[in-house]
Structure 1
């Protein structure tokens, strides 16, 4: 069980419009449940503005969802790195709104005079909200994990269709030139010698072959800028942080995070973002 919880799991970069919609839906759902079913003793609670107060808890749920799924990843991006993301982290992340929401619900209830702001009350609300969200959070993550595993491991069902490096026709022997932002530092090399490019902050590391040995060259530039300087179809972006020479791919594997490209010149495995999955058929699957 512990080994399963440590399995890699994908994490999406938070998109403002999607998180806002998600937050609104969560808030509407919570308000609907509280107003219609009035659980947790609220049925016996009487107040002139009861409906509006219960709707306020929906607003708390919306704010909590936005805080957890947009604000926190933006404020602490180093914690939300996909290469370190696992099943247990995804489950924990999905349960965090229960803890935050339980606390903020007590704050809201105290401000409107509906409940005391005490350790006992805070603990009670956190436990109640946590137990309500525990089962759905685990089930949804597990179902999505199974779906993604089946989807991305399906690539291993047609290895005979993947053209190996030896079988591929030679890449057009064009010289490519990568220019830094200062337009003075530049790297010239045959296209066939480029292996992949990795972005990191304001720099890119170009991995290429020199006398059949893997060499690294650091260039101050964004990945998008270098991408615009490449006009060879076999060399393409496959991830927000990587450009790869598809003629150097010798094998493809997959896990829940997506496809992985194994290259012939290095043991490093280049990830393929889900938005670039179509490149596998275009670049690697024989017609």
Structure 2
């Protein structure tokens, strides 16, 4: 039951969409893929089961027409039908849209194929076979599309600015650091803290003072500060660093070498592999931090 509830929540999540320019590229690339795949591999008996699989002028022209039909069907589907049907895209709606697109494309290709062949294969059994073949063929462009969206999402996470969204009164939130001896204290507004750096048995608290960056040495371990969870915007990103997301300016690099840039801080701060997922998760939900 819990798994079903989780699945429903996933399907309700907002889905990533292609821009108009990306859709044009997608339509062109899918048309090219179908044309080249059918021309050189000749599956599903498209060449009338020619044992020699020779590419005649007639067959080439037929495949060019098929390319045009597939491209037109996809373009009509994406640019005319999609905006009318899908108003608020979610993962569930996009899954339904993919299924519909396969039905739409399969039906169109089936009718066009029979039109070229004088309706010689216009049977219900052949129609379902066409749908199965189109579904199998669609796995290749769909796989490429999902991979592209994943790479685009990762690039966006790695290259774009990530401003923190403040909540009411958060500017004046006070961080209270207590030393290991439980006697010494250091109090600092959240908005003034930049990052904390490990320094043997001490930490260097880098913060703003009179609009200038300064650091205060404090006897406490970085691990203990992390465990105290003084505020969700404080994130451990490296064994030697804990950063304040409210000053996060940019994330740059890849999983082999990731760095973050903070406001008022000249040098980038490294991010360890073990903290990358936590960083991306918090950044993507920055509007909910508080």
**TM-score under structure 1 normalisation?**
0.46
Work out which structure has the larger RCO, using CA pairs closer than 8 Å and 6 or more positions apart in sequence.
1
* Structure with larger Rg: 2
